[in-house]
Amino acid sequence: MTAVIYIHGFLSSPQSHKAQVVARWLAEEHPQVSFYCPQLTPYPGQTQQQLDDLVADLKGQHIGLMGSSMGGFWATYLAEACDLPAVLINPACEPLKLMPQYIDQTLQNYHTEQTYQLNSSHLDELTQVPAHSAKRLANYWVLLQTGDETLDYNKAVSKYQGAEMLVEEGGDHSFQNFERHLSASLAFFDKFYAREC
């Protein structure tokens, strides 16, 4: 395992709690593993290009993806397009149903002063992203908590049926005590690449 890409959620940032937890843990426990957490906008076309460019820059390395909420959707995109392993944390499964409520609204990043405004063209961009189904089921470890107040965890159970999955009772959308699963996440990545040997 040489690199971990953490993909944050909608209107979030590298300053998010889970991103910071992963960054600190890797620095302390696995300093040989490079950590990447790009600042992404809610604009699908820009985000897709940014992630494509990052993976291209890391070509030849063993990359593990971690994606939370909308970041789980984008991790699915990369897992399918580039055959990469992905740990998904309470992933967004139906963003096309959620995004219309944000069209023509002024949106602000949770951690910065940045503001955004989505329009119908961004919905079209999202429609074109090939991540609305999961086919490479061996590429995923899906972490879900039934108390997720933002997303229905049953949607993820259905979308990723056949993948490795951990469903915890209770919790919330942030996935409480996520750090408990960091060692197992790295082990999942290592197991994925060991099968190639």
Confidence band for 1, pLDDT divided at 50, 70 and 90: confident
Q: Specify whether the CB–CB gap between 23 and 5 falls below 8 A.
A: no
pLDDT tens, position by position, 32-46: 999 999 999 999 999
pLDDT tens, position by position, 112-162: 889 999 999 999 999 999 988 999 999 999 999 999 999 999 999 999 999
φ, ψ of residue 166 in degrees (nearest 5): -125, 120
In this structure, the number of other CB atoms found within 10 A of the CB of residue 40 comes to 24
Q: What is the pLDDT of residue 5?
A: 98
Strand ranges inside 15-170, DSSP E: 34-36, 63-68, 86-89, 106-108, 115-117, 140-145, 164-168
pLDDT tens, position by position, 62-117: 999 999 999 999 999 999 999 999 999 999 999 999 999 999 999 999 998 899 99
Closest C-alpha among 156, 148, 114, 153 to residue 12: 114
Length of the chain, please? Answer: 197
13: which DSSP letter?
-
Superfamily of domain 3-194: Alpha/Beta hydrolase fold, catalytic domain (3.40.50.1820)
State which H helix or E strand residue 7 sits in.
strand 3-7
Distance CA 115, CA 55 (A): 26
Say what the pTM is: 0.96
